[in-house]
Amino acid sequence: MVPHLPSELLRDIISLCLDVKSNRIPLLLTSSVCNAISMELLYTHLRFETSLQLIRFLCTYGTPLLPLPYPPRTIDVDFTSDATTIFFHLNTLITRCGSLPEMETDEQGRIVLDILRLRLYSHTQDSGLHMILTSLEQVNPRRFIWTGPDPPHHFSTAVSLLFTFSAQYLFRAIEGWTNLTHLTLTHISLRLPSGNDNLPFRFPQVPNLRVFYLGQATFIPAESIAIFILGSAGVTALEKVRLVDAYESSIWGRRLRRSDIETLAARIVVASDIGDDEQRKEKVVAGAVKKIRQFITCEGQTERIIGGDRIPEDSNGVLM
């Protein structure tokens, strides 16, 4: 029966079955057809759930004697612990993928992935933070997701990207990704170190970015969002920026509203050198506010049981 199924349908069925760990060995042993499809799916969509699993994979594959059977299309790293050396190992994995003759690369020799997804805990105490840039600048993904391991209904900032350290490395890598169209960052805190509140804070400008999703995030300055939108002239593909449960301070404070960002955008353009012409000033401010409204939506999704900022009942979750 299996050989007579349309190959596209069989591939979809096997792909769903492979999501369950206990199905993988039986699928590989079922038939030569199932084995071939399963092998391709497993190696083109790499997923690692522990650092030991990743280390064993690197010890087994990627050498001249035993190269990877297929060039990866997606890499998914899902660690709930022992993540302090993840970027050292990820760097090795990406380097070995780049040595495959069949691996798609860009004009700079970086490997091209459909999706790169990192689901990790905090990196503020990681002694190898510089490896974030070293590893990620070797890849040029079309979609990038950086999130925490907690479930969607559990608000936490599992990934604390201290801006002057881990975030600067991450953002520098992202800014070089010319293929990136979808960027998702969640469960993060971008708090500046004490005494450095006046440091410049800038989100990366990515030329082909279409959708930017920033969720369950704390210490996100409205000014930085406004600067990101106002400075997006080179980001011609941008369609939407979604801020979901994004707070300018802690989760006990107030969520960002679009009006907050509009106000900051108006201040920024007025502070620029536009002279004393009131009519021109009004026109420039109106243009800035229009641009903010064109791209940004602020949403409330996760409510605290007690206290904190409440989502207006008649807002459908949209924060104006």
The DSSP H or E segment spanning 75 is strand 74-78
Amino acid letter, residue 93: L
**pLDDT of the residue at 86:** 82
**How many other CB atoms sit within 10 Å of the CB of residue 117?**
18
- Best-predicted range by mean pLDDT (220-224, 229-233, 266-270, 285-289): 220-224
DSSP-derived letter for residue 265 is H
Domain boundaries, the chain: 7-47, 48-299
- Sequence-distant (6+) residues with CB within 8 A of 87 are 126, 128, 131, 132, 134, 135, 136
**pLDDT of the residue at 305:** 65
- Best-predicted range by mean pLDDT (116-120, 232-236, 269-273): 116-120
Length of the chain equals: 320
pLDDT at residue 136 tops 80: yes
**pLDDT of the residue at 211:** 95
Topology of the domain comprising 48-299: 3.80.10
**pLDDT of the residue at 166:** 66
pLDDT in tens, 270-306: 777 666 677 777 888 888 888 889 999 988 887 766 6
Structure tokens of 149?
Answer: 């391991």
Could you tell me what percent of the chain has a pLDDT over 90?
20
Global pTM reads 0.86
Question: Which of 151, 152, 162, 93 has its CA nearest to residue 122?
Answer: 162
Bridge-based pairing of strands 115-119 and 211-218 is unpaired
Alpha helices in 99-183 (DSSP H): 130-136, 168-175
Please report how many Cα atoms fall inside a 13 Å half-sphere around the Cα of residue 279, on the Cβ side. Answer: 0
